A and B are shown apart, each in its own frame.
Chain A
């Protein structure tokens, strides 16, 4: 990867997608423009394992605030505390592909991943849940009125496989429930067995709601 991480990300921007880089700020933020909308600053960071508040605090303390923060590599986890700090700035975070979605929304700093919002709200509104803690971007902890707290990992994929479950365990550590984000598709038998072998469950949204109640 020659040059800085910001150079690398800049090289990935395809003007055919409607996004262009119009300038760089003195803080080395990329000033991006989507179609003819107002340009917005994007900060690029490079954290390997987990993004913590101390990784984002310095870039949020500049006079020019980024409206969007991208981390490379994209599979790095965002800690709940770092997410709170970024969103309070206000700013958004996500992958390279999400920059375009955020720009297209017309309000970049308010952009939020719809799937995460949906699940957080659904867990929070469950009648047996009194609080939700964000552990990582795709991991929540539901604190319940009855029963122990449950750590919930969100899984990508139209169909959730055993590998999805094993990969979640590697990335997130121990969890109680792995829930499929997509409303379509299914969880394979092997995925359910893989989760059971870890003392967890692999479920659909309906299964998550049932598990929170018990």
Chain B
């Protein structure tokens, strides 16, 4: 229930942002992704094409637009590959929708 509500809000946000998020990938992890009843914040990781995109998304994303407080991580694809960020955080792609990779 919490996960469904949060994913919808995040996807709506991503779509509202338009072209500044082109090429980025948005991943959910942590208690909301596990749909825990006591989840108190949203852990969101956004992989970006370049530093400038990461900085722009930080500026444009208002954490208070989402149903729960947002813990936002932004990094480039190169950084994510270096630390194996998606696998080590057990993150799941929620945007853009890709069949077989989403939820």
Interface positions of A (Cβ within 8 A of B): 12, 14, 16-18, 72-75, 95-98, 100-101, 104, 156-159, 161-164, 166-167, 185-186, 188-191
Contact = CB atoms under 8 A, between A and B. Distances in A.
Contact of A158 (B1, B38, B41, B73): B73
Contact of B38 (A100, A163, A167, A191): A100
Given A100-B40, A156-B71, A156-B73, A161 B64 contact: no
B93 to A, nearest CB: 17
Nearest to A155: B73
B78 A159 contact: no
B64 A16 contact: no
A18 B80 CA distance: 36
A171 to B, nearest CB: 10
17 contacts: A16-B1, A17-B38, A97-B41, A97-B68, A100-B40, A159-B75, A159-B80, A161-B75, A162-B51, A162-B79, A163-B74, A164-B75, A167-B58, A185-B83, A189-B82, A190-B76, A190-B78
Given A73-B63, A97-B68, A159 B76 contact: no
B88 A161 contact: no
Interface in B48-79: 48, 51, 54-55, 58, 62-64, 67-69, 71, 73-76, 78-79
Contacts of B1: 16
Contacts of B88: 158-159, 185
A75 B66 CA distance: 13
Contacts of A158: 73, 85, 88-89
Contacts of A163: 48, 51, 54-55, 58, 74-75
Nearest to B79: A188
Given A104-B38, A185-B89, 7 more contacts: A18-B38, A100-B40, A158-B73, A163-B51, A164-B74, A166-B55, A167-B74
Contacts of A97: 40-41, 68-69
A97 B67 CA distance: 10
Contacts of A12: 67
B47 to A, nearest CB: 10
A130 to B, nearest CB: 33
B38 to A, nearest CB: 7
Nearest to B81: A188
Contact of A161 (B37, B40, B73): B73
Nearest to B62: A73
Interface in B13-33: none
Given A96-B68, A97-B68, A158-B73, A75 B63 contact: yes
Contacts of B2: 16
A7 B65 CA distance: 15
